[in-house]
């Protein structure tokens, strides 16, 4: 019987985060793919591994496939039916992977979706040959994000229910700890504003996650920078403090052009990262009164 599996194609890139998940792993073997080689001119580093963990830490299994052109394709999840894969696609698209789509593998080789869907169907009344779907291994699932307890769409009213009823009360919640900036004390690290000290709502562009404060030349010489200490004690770098979406989109495009191919927009409120969905709802309800001090905004 032929082995047929479906997965979600998330990202195709050159940034090397495969070091966090790829190489000679059982994940690639689950699809019948060969181990992903680590190029000599693009070795694993703690920074790349941290980036991989940041992007894919709750999607399992994650697999990497290096194409002939050197591009690494990342897929997440293994499903034995196209219907299960489509449900997972809707979830990851809601989380921000807007371009995610379902792909199919048969005996370790990528096959057209139409062919795979036909092959996954039971024997027809016309007597068409049956292709059995792999059942030896349970289908993997995409875990729900911690910030979104439900897969079903959430409207603004539900989002806002977890926040104070007024902008004034929301901003009064800002209470950074006394040691909010103490983690960023390496004189060789890139100059950065600690987001933990910024009151109010702002948008920015993530450019990397590292195991420790990092030099500017390792961050593509992008300025201005912000830093944040994550719950896992890594350093998340973003660039700019923006109060409207047009400017932050332009900054994301600049970051991509400078070499951060997987840069993306994110939002912070009172020094903590929040979902973009929440940021839009808060801005829609409270308007500029909930935004950070304009004096901190990047021109």
Same domain, 161 and 227: yes
Question: Residue 136: pLDDT above 50?
Answer: no
Q: What is the mean pLDDT of residues 108-122?
A: 78
- Give the end of a domain, one of 93, 120, 147: 120
- Indicate the pTM of the whole model: 0.53
Residues 6+ apart with CB under 8 A from 196: 176, 177, 180, 181, 228, 229, 271, 272
Tell me if 136 is assigned to some domain.
Answer: no
Same domain, 195 and 88: no
- Give the end of a domain, one of 120, 136, 170: 120
For the chain, the domain total comes to: 2
Question: Residue 19: pLDDT above 60?
Answer: no
Tell me if 128 is assigned to some domain.
Answer: no
Question: Which pLDDT value is given to residue 27?
Answer: 43
Under DSSP, the state recorded for 57 is: T
Question: Which pLDDT value is given to residue 104?
Answer: 82
Residues 6+ apart with CB under 8 A from 3: 32, 106, 107, 108, 134
Same domain, 283 and 199: yes
Tell me if 12 is assigned to some domain.
Answer: yes
Tell me if 141 is assigned to some domain.
Answer: no
User: What confidence tier does 140 reach under pLDDT thresholds 50, 70, 90?
Assistant: very low
β 109-111/225-229 pair status: unpaired
Cα distance between residue 16 and residue 44, in whole Å: 7
Cα distance between residue 239 and residue 8, in whole Å: 29
Please compute Rg for the chain using Cα positions: 22
Write out the residue range of the structural domain in which residue 102 sits: 4-120
Tell me if 135 is assigned to some domain.
Answer: no
Same domain, 106 and 180: no
Same domain, 292 and 164: yes
Tell me if 274 is assigned to some domain.
Answer: yes
- Give the end of a domain, one of 120, 138, 165: 120
Same domain, 164 and 228: yes
Tell me if 108 is assigned to some domain.
Answer: yes
Question: Which pLDDT value is given to residue 220?
Answer: 93
Same domain, 16 and 65: yes
């Amino acid at each position: 019987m032929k082995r047929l599996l479906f997965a979600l194609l998330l990202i195709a890139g050159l940034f090397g985060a495969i070091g966090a998940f790829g190489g000679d792993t059982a994940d690639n073997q689950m699809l019948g793919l060969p181990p992903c080689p680590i190029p000599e001119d693009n070795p694993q580093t703690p920074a790349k591994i941290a980036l991989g963990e940041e992007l894919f830490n709750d999607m399992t299994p994650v697999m990497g496939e290096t194409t002939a052109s050197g591009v690494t394709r990342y897929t997440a999840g293994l499903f034995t039916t196209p219907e299960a894969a489509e449900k997972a696609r809707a979830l990851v698209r809601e989380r921000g992977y807007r371009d995610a789509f379902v792909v199919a593998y048969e005996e370790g080789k990528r096959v057209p979706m139409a062919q795979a869907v036909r092959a996954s169907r039971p024997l027809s009344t016309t007597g068409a040959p049956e292709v059995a779907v792999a059942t030896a291994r349970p289908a993997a699932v995409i875990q729900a994000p911690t910030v979104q307890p439900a897969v079903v769409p959430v409207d603004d009213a539900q989002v806002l229910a977890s926040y104070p009823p007024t902008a004034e009360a929301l901003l009064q919640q800002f209470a950074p700890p006394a040691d909010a900036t103490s983690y960023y004390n390496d004189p060789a690290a890139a100059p950065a504003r600690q987001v933990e000290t910024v009151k109010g709502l702002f948008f920015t562009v993530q450019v990397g996650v590292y195991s420790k404060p990092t030099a500017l030349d390792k961050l593509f010489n992008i300025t201005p920078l912000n830093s944040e200490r994550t719950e896992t004690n890594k350093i998340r770098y973003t660039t700019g403090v923006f109060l409207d979406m047009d400017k932050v989109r332009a900054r994301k495009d600049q970051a991509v052009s400078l070499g951060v191919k997987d840069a993306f927009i994110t939002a912070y409120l009172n020094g903590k990262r929040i979902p973009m969905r929440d940021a839009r709802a808060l801005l829609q309800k409270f308007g500029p009164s909930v935004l950070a001090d304009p004096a901190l905004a990047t021109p």
